[in-house]
């Protein structure tokens, strides 16, 4: 009696909101380990382990026999969409997906900044937003298309001096060096829907950062300084807010009733590593035997650029209620803690669709686009609709299918894995995005 062929390779699953990418991997292992589909793979793995010598057995950290699974790039817990999964030898191919293009649909909420650049972070500051229109946002988008320089958020997996940025953030520590910008490419960026104030349910986070947390954020993000380190006061006249042309440096950062330029002093880019996939916010570290996640490296060098002041008209219609509004006390204009006038209503929001290359952070785009229209911005929603050849609604397993049993998810996973294996066997190349073939070992 011939033994059934072990299936392994790469497929995609639709990650739901509110759970981590690592949890998806654990849920897959829970379903795959006792399944008939992966029984041949486990039998082969057991036989291979029995042939290992003493040194190999000692080196093996995980003694449990279970299906080897990894994912090809973390998605934020907030985010949904395509999560690439490698099974068995397929985990070795996950690196290919770092070089492919990804498509996202995101919602940006104006008027606020948080430590994580999204609605799940702590509120750092607020800014006027009544001047923002769809037209102004459309004009500002041009500066974010093509090859651009982007500064990753502090809540990311980049390393500085061997330590993850998110570790500095969680510990409330200053960074030993400034986060440098990195080159990324935006192949497509467009507005799909404009949401007027009061026409949506998106809200700023209710939790406000503590004063000491704001002080650390000020030192890391330079919220209230221009390139020279000086504070700059805005004009109080009633001029229309201008939208800058395509720029070589990031726009000014608005904080409450002050607006400042961002420090762009040229520095040699420190080599970073361990970057989560586009838009990804790294999850808390957990011990996960037999799982693999793929990360990437990039370097960039920025040029010396000058700084200039910009002016903004201040109105009294620019602070919406949060989920639990708290009164704020007035402070001097040069304080690092932001104060804003009270108002009713909610800020505008915009839905964006984009196609980007590796290393791109959607949260940074939302943060930077908010500054580009002389306000602030945070990511309220994110969906990865495509990564490489895998696309939602086309060839990605729905997460809910796992709960329906192997008779439901089994045929779908088998078809995707066998399809992947066939491509590898036929040509040794797999097209993973952007029309480029990536060599597969």
Q: Which residues are catalytic?
A: 76
Cβ pair 97, 188 in contact under 8 A: no
DSSP letter string, 20-36: -HHHHHHHHHHHHTT-S
To 5 degrees, how large is the angle CA 61–CA 62–CA 68? 125
Q: How far apart are alpha carbons 144 and 421 in whole angstroms?
A: 38
Tracing tokens 């006061």 back to the chain, one arrives at 233
Is residue 292 within 8 Å of 88, Cβ to Cβ?
Answer: no
Token pair of 227 as six digits: 């390139």
Helix segments in 147-302, DSSP class H: 165-171, 211-221
At 143, give phi and psi (nearest 5°): -70, -10
User: Distance of alpha carbon 101 from its chain centroid, rounded?
Assistant: 14
Residue 256 DSSP SS3: coil
3-state helix, strand, coil in the chain (%, to 5): 25, 25, 50
What are φ and ψ of residue 123, in 5° steps?
A: -70, 125
As a whole number of Å, the end-to-end CA separation of the chain is 31
């Amino acid at each position: 009696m011939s033994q059934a062929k072990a299936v392994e390779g790469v497929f995609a699953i639709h990650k739901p909101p509110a759970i981590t990418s690592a949890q998806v991997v654990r849920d897959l292992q829970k379903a795959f380990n006792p399944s008939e589909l992966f029984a041949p793979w486990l039998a082969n793995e057991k036989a291979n382990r029995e042939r290992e010598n003493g040194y190999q057995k000692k080196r093996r950290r995980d003694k449990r026999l279970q299906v080897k699974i990894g994912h090809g790039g973390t998605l934020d817990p907030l985010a949904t969409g395509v999560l690439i999964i490698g099974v068995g030898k397929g985990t070795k191919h996950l690196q290919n997906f770092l070089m492919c293009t990804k498509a996202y649909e995101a919602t940006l909420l104006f008027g606020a900044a948080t430590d994580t650049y999204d609605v799940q972070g702590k509120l750092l500051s607020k800014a006027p937003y009544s001047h923002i229109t769809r037209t102004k946002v459309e004009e500002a988008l041009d500066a974010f298309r093509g090859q651009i320089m982007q500064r990753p958020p502090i809540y990311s997996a980049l390393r500085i001096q061997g330590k993850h940025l998110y570790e500095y953030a969680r510990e409330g520590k200053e960074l030993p060096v400034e986060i440098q910008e990195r080159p990324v490419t935006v192949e497509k960026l467009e507005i799909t829907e404009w949401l007027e104030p009061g026409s949506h349910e998106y809200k700023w986070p209710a939790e406000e950062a503590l004063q000491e947390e704001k002080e650390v954020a000020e030192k890391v993000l330079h919220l209230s300084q221009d390139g020279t380190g000086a504070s700059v006061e805005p004009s109080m006249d009633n001029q229309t807010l201008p939208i800058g042309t395509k720029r070589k440096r990031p726009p000014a950062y608005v904080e409450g009733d002050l607006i400042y330029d961002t420090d762009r002093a040229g520095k040699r880019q420190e080599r970073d590593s361990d970057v989560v996939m586009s838009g990804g916010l790294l999850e808390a570290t957990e011990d996960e035997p037999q799982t693999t996640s793929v990360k990437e490296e990039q370097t960039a060098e920025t040029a010396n650029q000058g700084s200039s002041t910009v002016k903004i008209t201040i109105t009294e219609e620019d602070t919406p209620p949060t989920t639990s509004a708290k009164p704020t006390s007035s402070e001097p204009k040069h304080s690092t803690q932001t104060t804003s006038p009270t108002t009713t209503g909610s800020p505008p929001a915009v839905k964006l669709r984009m196609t980007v290359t590796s290393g791109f952070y959607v949260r940074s785009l939302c943060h930077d686009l908010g500054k580009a229209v002389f306000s602030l911005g945070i990511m309220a929603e994110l969906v990865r609709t495509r990564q490489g050849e895998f696309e939602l609604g086309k060839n990605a397993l729905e997460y809910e299918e796992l709960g329906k049993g192997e008779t439901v998810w089994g045929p779908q996973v088998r078809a995707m894995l066998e399809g992947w294996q066939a491509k590898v066997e036929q040509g040794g190349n797999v097209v993973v995005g952007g029309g480029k073939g990536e060599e597969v070992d």
